[in-house]
Amino acid sequence: MIGDIIGRAGRRALEEHLPRLIDKYSIDFTVANGENLASGFGLNRKTADEVFSLGVDVLTNGNHCWDQREFLLLCDEDDRFVRPMNFSSHAPGRGWTVLETAAGHKIAVINLIGQIFMGPWDCPFAAADRALEEIPDDVSAIVVDMHAEATSEKMGMGWYLNGRVSCVYGTHTHVPTCDETIMPGGTAYQSDIGMTASYQSIIGMKVEGALKRMVERLPQRFEAVERGASIFATVVTIDTSTRRATNIQRIHIPPA
């Protein structure tokens, strides 16, 4: 899994390193959060195709899902896009998807968004239950991207789904956590993977603009830092006969 990929810098870092990482760790399936692909705000066909061509299999989303109007159409056209399951039932797109690896294993990916400090979304716990009822029984693994601000809410989802899914991991804060673990029920968990972006920034955005908004309390346009990205990702090994995780490992590739 790859945390929020921010703008050109994040895409270039993946171009340089992702194919090698897939080979090094014998990766069968790659999920990335794509809500910041296009200059830090949303995603479009061009930016999505860039990362798909590098080996990303599914792009999850979050609160920036609709920042690029093009995605309103794209999300219904391609099974590789998912948006939070607990968005309005009237929203386009899908909250979960199932894709097959080269080895023939079917992998389900569920996307959820938190409520605490986030927005008036539907209940993510109820949405998770609904997704699990809808996902076919023949999948080999179930992976959940919980896009949320509050660590407690992400941990709550981890425990709620413990033993029911293969992995629950957090995105959104852009700050990696070192609490990766295998829960008692065989569910891999990490509160936040972090971001694939420049860490000489304020969560991927240029320092000057972000500070100006904080200090002066006036509207200010955020701009993504376009160079010097680090990659933060997590590799999970899953026993496809049981859907249980057997190992979880954080990866950090600093900028050259």
Catalytic residues: 64
Is 105 annotated among the ligand-binding residues? no
Is 4 annotated among the ligand-binding residues? yes
Is 162 annotated among the ligand-binding residues? no
- Residue 110 pairs with which residues in a beta bridge? 96, 144
Report the alpha-carbon distance of residue 25 to residue 44 in Å, rounded.
29
Is 76 annotated among the ligand-binding residues? no
Pick the closest to residue 97 from 124, 73, 79 (CA basis).
Answer: 79
Is 147 annotated among the ligand-binding residues? yes
Is 111 annotated among the ligand-binding residues? no
Question: Are the CB atoms for 15 and 5 separated by under 8 Å?
Answer: no
Pick the closest to residue 42 from 70, 65, 63, 73 (CA basis).
Answer: 65
Taken in order 187, 43, 113, 83, the sign of the CA dihedral is negative
Max CA pair span of the chain: 56
Taken in order 153, 154, 155, 158, the sign of the CA dihedral is positive
Is 100 annotated among the ligand-binding residues? no
3-state SS, residue 74: helix
Report the alpha-carbon distance of residue 146 to residue 205 in Å, rounded.
22
Residue count of the chain: 256
Question: Are the CB atoms for 161 and 224 separated by under 8 Å?
Answer: no
Q: Strand locations in 78-201, DSSP E? A: 96-100, 106-113, 141-147, 167-171, 181-182, 188-190, 195-198
Residues annotated in the binding site for Fe cation, as ranges?
A: 4, 35-36, 63, 147, 172, 174
Annotated binding residues: 4, 35-36, 63, 147, 172, 174
